[in-house]
Amino acid sequence: MLQQIFSPSVQHALDLIGIFVFAISGALLAVRKNFDVFGIAVLAEVTALGGGLFRDLVIGAVPPAAFTDLGYFLTPLLAALLVFFLHPEVERIQAGVNVFDAAGLGLFCVAGTTKAYEHGLGLTASATLGLATAVGGGVLRDVIAGEVPSLLRWDRDLYAVPAMVGAGLVVLCLRYDALTTVTSALAAVTAFVLRLLAMRYHWRAPRAWNRRSAAVEEV
């Protein structure tokens, strides 16, 4: 059983780590957008909890963990506080946003997939919900910050694909009874590294064949 591999304390720790790194990315973006302290806290909370909230509502884990565990609520506030006082220099903020976002992406695609499977979803549905868990907070973050979500932009490096790979590795391990703490960590690291490589080498998904759009890449 999956529950024998992931004890409640391990699952809780994985969730909190993912929440913290996503909150860091949200708070850093708020600083770059010149938000005040309340805006920084709000963006940190939304980025950290948005994907997990969606996951819990879909699988019927209600009330969602974000509303029943004080740690889930306080962790983003701690991240917002750290960013408020210790954020990088302006020219380094974007790099910090991207790195923390990639870390959260890897952690949440694994946590979302495993929790969905624990609640009775099939392998394909679990992977899909793992993807939604990973990208949901980032989408809400970008919308609130007044940006088109990176998930939807053709001129942005691969974002959803690394999460899809991480979730796919998890369900592959589930299919062959090979999911352990080590293999789940490897899946998260794989998604994280793929996202970093995509940013480093500007890997992007192809657009429609023979498209006739006049859109140009933003600088």
The whole-number pLDDT of residue 6 equals 61
What does 42-107 look like in DSSP terms, one character per residue?
Answer: HHHHHHHHHHHHHHHHHHT--S-HHHH-HHHHHHHHHHHHHHHHHPPPHHHHHHHHHHHHHHHHHH
**R_g (Cα) of the chain, nearest Å:** 17
* Ranges of the chain whose pLDDT falls below 70: 1-6, 88-93, 213-219
Beta-carbon contacts of 11 under 8 Å, excluding residues fewer than 6 positions away, are 111, 114, 115
- What ranges do the domains of the chain cover? 2-201
The whole-number pLDDT of residue 154 equals 83
The whole-number pLDDT of residue 214 equals 58
The whole-number pLDDT of residue 93 equals 67
Shortest CA distance to 76 belongs to which of 130, 17, 122, 29? 17
Beta-carbon contacts of 33 under 8 Å, excluding residues fewer than 6 positions away, are 39, 145, 146
Contact by Cβ (8 Å): 184, 15:
no
Contact by Cβ (8 Å): 54, 133:
yes
CB neighbour class for 178 (10 Å; exposed up to 12, middle 13-18, buried from 19): exposed
The residue written with tokens 């962790």 in the block is 75
The whole-number pLDDT of residue 90 equals 42
Q: Quick count: other Cβ atoms within 10 Å of Cβ 10?
A: 12
